Amino acid sequence: MADYAIGDLQGCFTEFKLLLEKVNFNPSKDILYLVGDIVARGPDSLACLRYLKNLGDSVKITLGNHDLHLIATYYLNKQPKKNDLLDSLFSASDFPELISFLQKQPLAIWLESYQTLICHAGLSPHWNIKTALTQANLATKKYQSDDALYYFKNMYGEGPLIWSDELSEVESFRYTVNAFTRMRFLTPNNEMDFIHKDAPHNTPELQPWFKHPNIQRLKNTKIIFGHWASLLGKTDNENIIALDTGCVWGKELTLLELDTGTITTQAAI
């Protein structure tokens, strides 16, 4: 029995299956946690979603920005972007069922036994773990509710860029979604920056969210995230674990065994 976390799939189904074979993943006794961005940009998002859906309770997913965009595109009756390579998914007979499967997934998972937060982009430095989980739960309930269309219509937008208890319901939803699925850098004013995606050493005027003092103080808590491929898995903090290592960009897919800390990788095919 083992618990694994794995980085952004983004449609890289061949590498995904090879990586699971390397660790002898057994869905009858092992659990697989995914940090989001199951779909988009890679060659077989449809196969990734079908495989994960069929794994049942042995898989847990936190949604990424590409996953939420896919669900919103479906709800808003829009066509996918060509470079997302999602045409086969949109034309699949089980597309509605796959959307329903994705929509049931949360923005964050807390593993008490490991004192570990799993999410796509990271933890807002304005929140402690309790607040983050509360906000994630509130936002998740909104995009899973009968009013989901309303929230998907209002999900897009750059602001608010900083957290406040005075935010409106929609603003709070948007900030929460952005923090959990799009955040990388913070400005000197602690606002989220959505423009820059490069490695931190190339953007010295901005601070990675995980370098914020409030995050660095979380000595007994681990955060496992994806989203930021240009980090190449490097955060300089053993408790902040970046699993997106750019498989869809020709690099590799990374898997972490939670109990032992063992890393296993599969090079892009």
Per-residue pLDDT of the chain (269 residues; tens, 9 = 90+): 999 999 999 999 999 999 999 999 999 999 999 999 999 999 999 999 999 999 999 999 999 999 999 999 999 999 999 999 999 999 999 999 999 999 999 999 999 999 999 999 999 999 999 999 999 999 999 999 999 999 999 999 889 999 999 999 999 999 999 999 999 999 999 999 999 999 999 999 999 999 999 999 998 999 999 999 999 999 999 999 999 999 999 999 999 999 999 999 999 99
Phi/psi at 264 (5° precision): -125, 135
Q: Residue 188: is the preceding peptide bond cis (ω within 30°)?
A: no
- Say if CB 248 and CB 10 are below 8 A apart: yes
**What type of residue sits at position 9?**
L
CA angle 33, 37, 39 (to 5 degrees): 115
Burial (CB < 10 A; 0-12, 13-18, 19+), residue 51, is middle
How far lies 213's CA from each of 40, 126, 207, in Å?
33, 11, 11
Query: Which CATH number is 3-267 given?
Result: 3.60.21.10
- 265 near 16, Cβ under 8 Å? no
Q: Please give the Cα distance from 183 to 227 (Å, whole number).
A: 9
CA distances for 106 relative to 216, 237, 261, angstroms: 25, 26, 24
Could you tell me the CA-to-CA distances from 149 to 44, 76, 98, 155, 239 in Å, in that order? 27, 7, 17, 10, 37
Buried b (16+ CB within 10 A) or exposed e, 60-71: bbbbbbbbbbbb
Contact 4, 46 (CB under 8 A): no
DSSP E strand boundaries for 113-269: 116-119, 185-186, 192-193, 207-208, 222-225, 240-242, 252-257, 263-267
- C-alpha 125/C-alpha 122 separation (Å) is 9
- Separation of CA 20 from chain center: 19
Would you give the distance in Å from CA 220 to the centre of its chain?
22
Residue 258 CA to residue 51 CA, distance in Å, equals: 22
**Signed CA dihedral, 101, 20, 232, 83: sign only:** negative
Contact predicate 160/175, CB 8 Å = yes
